[in-house]
Structure 1
Amino acid sequence: MRIGLLGTGPWARAAYAPALAGHTGVEFAGVWGRRPEAADELAKEYGVTAYADVDALLADVDAVAVALPPAVQGELAVRAARAGRHLLLDKPLALTVTEGRAVAKAVAAAGVASVVFFTARFQREPAAWIEEQAAVPGWFTARAQWLGAVFTTDSPFAASPWRREKGALWDVGPHALSVLLPVLGDARRVAAAARGPADTVHLVLEHAGGASSALTLSLTAPAAAAGAEVELRGEAGVSVLPGSSEGAVPALARAVDALTAAARSGRPHPCDAAFGLRVTEILSAAEDLLVPQPVRAAQ
């Protein structure tokens, strides 16, 4: 599989480019970016072609990996799918249900494979834990805390416009949902949503399996308090999401493996565009609950 990279920002440089370049099962074919000079620089670093035109890249590859802001990802994912290219996408799939639905529809219509990269779903220990807990009956409730320090440290993602606008709900919310949904079942309803300090949000979900979950999401946690925790409680007792011994690059390599397997077999991956759309729908419902209600004039 020849695969091209769309994007040249910090995430593309730190994770996507090294994962593609180091993967022995695919050919890293080239780079396109919204800033041609950045595409030239990244392509030169890895000895691949820099494309000034995205359609020229699509014509030369079998698949694309997208490391772009979600508002940009949607349009390009639709274009790539219509060109018959398989898709390795990043979370969130989109920032609106309309955009997410367009991607999922284009993928289905074209019959191409898609994988959305939710990190924990492709890291060895967390992925194994999720699979194990999904087979355990009788979960009663879950607690998830996904606390980042993006805005309180010198993180390279702190200046990201979409993260500044949309906050933790849309950045780390997808990670938490990607762990909870396969274990507890789909979220039938966002029962409650409330704001905390800065971009922090608290959600309560009702799941199809009968359990409930409580989520706390933030990108403004103190550095000493940052981290991700998921705890399940039910008939089997208590189970806690294990940490991972590896970073994003090995996990992305497994996501590439998943994409090639889905393309070869024609069987959808659990983290495909349709799942990405469902996550977008849940986040959008939560966002609607967080919108301040208009003040009513006294009667």
Structure 2
Amino acid sequence: MRIGLLGTGPWARASYAPALAGHTGLEFAGVWGRRPEAATALAERHDVAAYADVDALLADVDAVAVALPPSVQAGLAVRAARAGRHLLLDKPLALSVGEARAVTEAVERAGVASVVFFTARFQKEPEAWIGEQAATAGWFTARAHWLGAVFTTDSPFAGSPWRREKGALWDVGPHALSVLLPVLGDVRQVVAAAHGPADTVHLVLDHATGASSTLTLSLSAPPAAAGADAELRGEAGVAVMPGSADGAVPALSRAADALVRAARTGRPHACDAGFGLRITEILAAAESRLTDGTRRTE
């Protein structure tokens, strides 16, 4: 599978490009970016072609990986799907339900494979744990903390305009939801949503299995308090999600494996664009709850 990369920012440079370049089942074919000079520099680093025109890249590949802000990703994903290209996408799929639905519809109409990269879903230990807990009945409640120090350190993402605007709800909220939904079922209702310090958000969710969950999400945590964890409590006792030694690059390599399998077999991956759409719907409902107190789920 020949794959191109759309994006040249810190996430593309540190994670996507190395993952694609080091993947033995892919041919990393080239890079396109909104800044041509950055695309040239990244392409030269990995000895691939730099493209000044995105359609020229799409014409030369079987698939694209997208490492761009979600509002930019959505439109390009639709464009790539319509060109018949498989999609390795980042979370969140989009920043509005309408944009996310457009991606999903384009994927379905074109019959292409799609995988949205939720880190824990492609790390060995968390992935295995999620599968084990999903097969266990009787969960009563869960809590998840996804606390980043993006805005309290010299993180390369600290100046990201979309993260500054949308905060932790949209940046790390998808990670927490991607862990909880396979275990507790879909979210029937965002029961409560409240602001905490800075961009911190607290959510209470009602799930299809009857279980409830609480989420604390932040990009402004003190560095010493940063980290991600999830805990389940129910008839089986207490289960705590294990950490992983895998960084983003090995996890992205597994996400690329999943895309190749989905394209070859025609069987959708659990983290496809449709799942990304559902995550977007829940985030939009939580955002609405934060601003106007409604109880809608989309």
Normalised by the length of structure 2, the TM-score is 0.98
Render the CA deviation track for 1:11-32: whole Å, top value 9, x for unaligned: 0001000000000100000000
Structure-2 separation of matches of 1:268 and 1:154: 38
Give the corresponding residue for 1:290: 290
Letter of the structure 1 residue corresponding to residue 88 of structure 2: L
Letter of the structure 2 residue corresponding to residue 64 of structure 1: V
Give the corresponding residue for 2:270: 270
Letter of the structure 2 residue corresponding to residue 279 of structure 1: I
Which structure 1 segments of 5+ residues have no match? 294-299
SS at match of 1:103: helix
Give the corresponding residue for 1:231: 231
Structure-1 separation of matches of 2:209 and 2:48: 47
Give the corresponding residue for 1:37: 37
SS at match of 2:191: strand
Give the corresponding residue for 1:93: 93
Please report how far the alpha carbon of residue 58 of structure 1 lies from its aligned counterpart in structure 2 after TM superposition.
0.1
SS at match of 2:141: strand
SS at match of 1:228: strand
Give the corresponding residue for 1:125: 125
Give the corresponding residue for 1:297: none
Structure-2 separation of matches of 1:260 and 1:147: 32
Give the corresponding residue for 2:26: 26
Render the CA deviation track for 1:18-62: whole Å, top value 9, x for unaligned: 000000100000000000000000000000000000000000000
- Determine if the alignment matches structure 1 residue 180 to structure 2 residue 180: yes
Render the CA deviation track for 1:204-228: whole Å, top value 9, x for unaligned: 0000011000000000000000000
Give the corresponding residue for 2:14: 14
Structure-2 separation of matches of 1:10 and 1:182: 30
Structure-2 separation of matches of 1:148 and 1:104: 29
Give the corresponding residue for 1:167: 167
How large is the Cα RMSD of the aligned pairs?
Answer: 0.6
Give the corresponding residue for 1:210: 210
Structure-1 separation of matches of 2:64 and 2:246: 24
Render the CA deviation track for 1:157-206: whole Å, top value 9, x for unaligned: 00000000000000000000000000000001101000000100000000
Structure-2 separation of matches of 1:159 and 1:252: 24
Letter of the structure 2 residue corresponding to residue 152 of structure 1: T
- Determine if the alignment matches structure 1 residue 151 to structure 2 residue 179: no
Please report how far the alpha carbon of residue 246 of structure 1 lies from its aligned counterpart in structure 2 after TM superposition.
1.1
Normalised by the length of structure 1, the TM-score is 0.97
- Determine if the alignment matches structure 1 residue 257 to structure 2 residue 257: yes
Letter of the structure 2 residue corresponding to residue 91 of structure 1: K
Please report how far the alpha carbon of residue 251 of structure 1 lies from its aligned counterpart in structure 2 after TM superposition.
0.3
Count of paired positions? 293
SS at match of 2:267: coil
Structure-2 separation of matches of 1:217 and 1:81: 32
Letter of the structure 2 residue corresponding to residue 39 of structure 1: A
Letter of the structure 2 residue corresponding to residue 145 of structure 1: H
Please report how far the alpha carbon of residue 85 of structure 1 lies from its aligned counterpart in structure 2 after TM superposition.
0.1
Letter of the structure 1 residue corresponding to residue 30 of structure 2: G
Structure-2 separation of matches of 1:291 and 1:14: 35
Give the corresponding residue for 2:109: 109
Please report how far the alpha carbon of residue 292 of structure 1 lies from its aligned counterpart in structure 2 after TM superposition.
5.3
Letter of the structure 1 residue corresponding to residue 290 of structure 2: L
Which structure 2 segments of 5+ residues have no match? 294-298
Render the CA deviation track for 1:70-93: whole Å, top value 9, x for unaligned: 000000000000000000000000
Structure-2 separation of matches of 1:48 and 1:101: 33
Please report how far the alpha carbon of residue 291 of structure 1 lies from its aligned counterpart in structure 2 after TM superposition.
1.1
